[in-house]
Structure 1
Amino acid sequence: MTAIDHEALVAMLDRLKLSAIRDQLDTLLDEAARSKMTLREALAFFVSREIARRDERRISMASKLAQFPFVREIDGFEFDAQPSLDPGQIRELVTCRWIAHGDTTLFLGPPGTGKTHLAVALGREAIRQNYSVQFVTAATLVAMLAKAHDDGSLDKQLTLLARPKLLIIDELGYLPFEANAAHLFFQLVSRRYEKGSILITSNRSVGEWGGVFGDPVVATAILDRLLHHSAVITIRGDSYRLREKRRSGLLQKAGPTLENTETTAP
């Protein structure tokens, strides 16, 4: 290939926006020659590299838009440390079929047992499978809804929160809701009901949600929709953070705080 041919080829790749092939052109050509690829094999090889680059960029951008607090993967979760969890049930969630169906997943358990790790990991897997995701803490969500209600933009805010195929609400129950906030949360759940999936992590059993929302009637209405198509997974293990302190002798072992031990399959 002459220098002119090379420049012309790069220009065509630029025009087609095949940046991965353009940036790795010499390396890809050398690899194809060393491996004695046929034209069909070389073309597939080049295109696979382009797809991989685009997927990497898509996942990176979607993860930023999702606003995850950190990066976590399912492979990094210590299932041995949480024997109450069924790895098979988590693997089923990784398939994201529940998201395709608009179902709900609840992770319940004491603080530090890996609920947020699992939520973020499932959110990242959903992005890999081309689902839109948004992550938000319950406290931030309530503040967003309350502000929108006060300035008259609640319908617009609810519409925005209804768009992601998966909405992850973290740390529900750590702070009690005011009565009006519970009604706003109910409107969000109703807007997403059977249309978009919700994943919630909470340190409270569903039987305690009446106290969390400050209104048992509203809590019942919320749970009626959330639990209709759902997987409720309770983690009964110890906190990872406290376990490390116990190993160092700084703390004595304490029992879990969550009483509800029910787990339902997706």
Structure 2
Amino acid sequence: LLGPPGIGKTHLAIGLGVKAAQAGCSVLFDTANNWITRLAAAHQAGHLDTELKKIRRYKLIIIDEVGYIPFDQDAANLFFQLVASRYEQGSILVTSNLPFGRWGETFSDDVVAAAMIDRLVHHAEVLTLTGDSYRTRARRDLLAKDRPNRD
């Protein structure tokens, strides 16, 4: 799910995760930053392979907010390992505020970003959402009600 902030990507991802769980699929959800924190801790403890194997047991993982916080090279490599370990093994739902062409900025490496994108889109449905932020739209509507009509 790609699109600007505030249009409901996270809300939609959670809804799809709930529906998958109701259908009997095991689901894990977290932000991209928290996935990296989890993988970095496992890597530092010498258990990265075990952690990736544990994550592979889930039918669906949801990675929210890719692109909001840039990753250093080590984090990008860990994220790549997560995506690669699930390639053709389990489903991944990703939300991002960036088009794929800008993922190199987030992962500090265009080649790593391209390799991840290649694996993610191979069997994927890519949905690009557009529109105004629900949060700012609600604020604009409220402000519009408070303004006197000048007609």
TM-score (norm 2): 0.92
**1:153 partner amino acid:** H
The separation in 1 between residues aligned to 2:143 and 2:72, in whole angstroms, is 40
What's the counterpart of residue 191 of structure 1? Answer: 85
The separation in 2 between residues aligned to 1:151 and 1:125, in whole angstroms, is 34
Please give the root-mean-square deviation of Cα atoms over the aligned residues, in Å. 1.0
Instruction: Select the residue among 135, 140, 143 that pairs with 1:241.
Output: 135
Shift of 1:249: 2.0
**1:205 partner amino acid:** P
Matched, 1:208 2:72: no
Instruction: Select the residue among 36, 40, 52 that pairs with 1:158.
Output: 52
Instruction: Select the residue among 230, 233, 240 that pairs with 2:124.
Output: 230
Three-state SS of the structure 1 residue aligned to 2:125 is strand
Which residues of structure 2 form unaligned runs of 5+? 145-151
The higher relative CO (CA closer than 8 Å, separation ≥ 6) is in 2
**1:140 partner amino acid:** N
Can you list the C-alpha shifts for 1:26-65, whole angstroms capped at 9, x where unaligned?
xxxxxxxxxxxxxxxxxxxxxxxxxxxxxxxxxxxxxxxx
Sequence identity, in percent?
A: 55
The separation in 1 between residues aligned to 2:54 and 2:68, in whole angstroms, is 25
TM-score (norm 1): 0.53
The runs of at least 4 aligned residues of structure 1 exceeding 6 Å deviation read: none
Instruction: Select the residue among 41, 48, 51 that pairs with 1:147.
Output: 41
What's the counterpart of residue 133 of structure 1? Answer: 27
What's the counterpart of residue 25 of structure 1? Answer: none
Contact persistence 1:112–1:239 (CA under 8 A): yes
What's the counterpart of residue 69 of structure 2? Answer: 175
The separation in 2 between residues aligned to 1:223 and 1:172, in whole angstroms, is 12
**1:204 partner amino acid:** L
Q: How many residues align?
A: 144
